[in-house]
Structure 1
């Protein structure tokens, strides 16, 4: 499928979920918004679940790119700076728009019941945990690094979820500050290297 057409369908999916929610979004609504026939969605994606998976893969690609952009500006391998970049990337503009937040929420709830989506969620969760754990491991024992990584991943998800549930009051700067303070608390005075 043409990349432009694919992007139109992904954008239409997010806009339709934003407007109607996943349960009330239909293939017909999405296809109409994208300006394509409903058959194209079924043909290329196998239906609404496949389209949601493709949309989430796009959002996850944006997330990875936002973290990578921040990490590319770093001068070295300082764990604190890399952890800050991971935190900031998770609260990037690409991850906190209304449409993207509602799509994330729809994905999370649907992934509990759909094996293909559940696998995608597990991969995303493991990637975040692994990246965080690797950075903490530069300064903490293995057990402490793992515990700190679980804590930071939970804090990122929790702050993001609270923001998604009350977007008009979502203070992104404060969420980043809180998560970065957690990083500082874990690293300060705990250097084992």
Structure 2
């Protein structure tokens, strides 16, 4: 499996860039894009707003760099998880483990990701990043499916199409999980549900029966 790519990945990222990006990511998760300002970032790292603009040029430049950085980290984490196993079922479970990393991390990611989805619909400049993120995600899922098909464990006549279904399944479960009042406690249940749903969809003979709603 090739190394994931995100647009402008060759842009040099300094420790200061990363510090500002991390502050942006947390501010987006806490306030949402509609209430987000450059001053939020400046206040978090105790610098002037001009320093933020010096490193990223514009507010959109900062937002694009932040989402690019976050998405590249997610892609790399999944890639490393897949390299640890050759068994198709274990690879599928490891992929979900790498995605369902922790309640807090997943909540932060999906709150900002949903903002990105809305932004893409209104601001075309963000579309290439979202398209590249979708490509990476679906190519990763398709590779997992193809590996399982070659091993005679998974069933798929069109891995690329089924990768879209997996993406919809994973994102859909996360959106449902976000709405849970006890989202921290329900995180393991949703991870297990996601693993079982993927394995059943792909026809894995060792996939268990559907989980009960009690978790």
Output the aligned Cα RMSD: 2.5
Greater share of residues in helix: 1
1:188 and 2:204 correspond: yes
Task: Give runs of aligned pairs for residues 42-191 of structure 1, distance below 5 A.
Answer: 42-74=53-85, 76=86, 78-93=87-102, 96-138=105-147, 139=149, 140-143=155-158, 145-166=159-180, 168-170=182-184, 171-185=186-200, 186-188=202-204
Residue ranges of structure 2 left out of the alignment (5+ in a row): 1-11, 150-154, 206-215
Distance in 2, matches of 1:119 and 1:96, equals 25
Structure 1: unaligned runs, 5 residues or longer: none
Partner residue of 2:4?
A: none
**1:98, 1:36 → 2: CA distance?**
27
The 1-side partners of 2:23 and 2:102 are apart by 19
In structure 2, C-alpha distance between the alignment counterparts of 1:4 and 1:48, rounded to whole Å: 19
Aligned equivalents of 2:109 and 2:142: distance in 1? Answer: 26
**Is the Cα contact below 8 Å between 2:38 and 2:49 reproduced in 1?**
yes
Pair 1:66–1:23, CA change in 2 (3 A)? same
Among 40, 44, 48, the alignment partner of 1:33 is 44
Q: TM-score, normalised by structure 1?
A: 0.82
| SS of equivalent to 1:188 | coil
* CA displacement at 1:66 relative to structure 2: 2.2
Conserved 8 A contact 2:156-2:162: no
Between Structure 1 and Structure 2, how many residues are aligned? 186
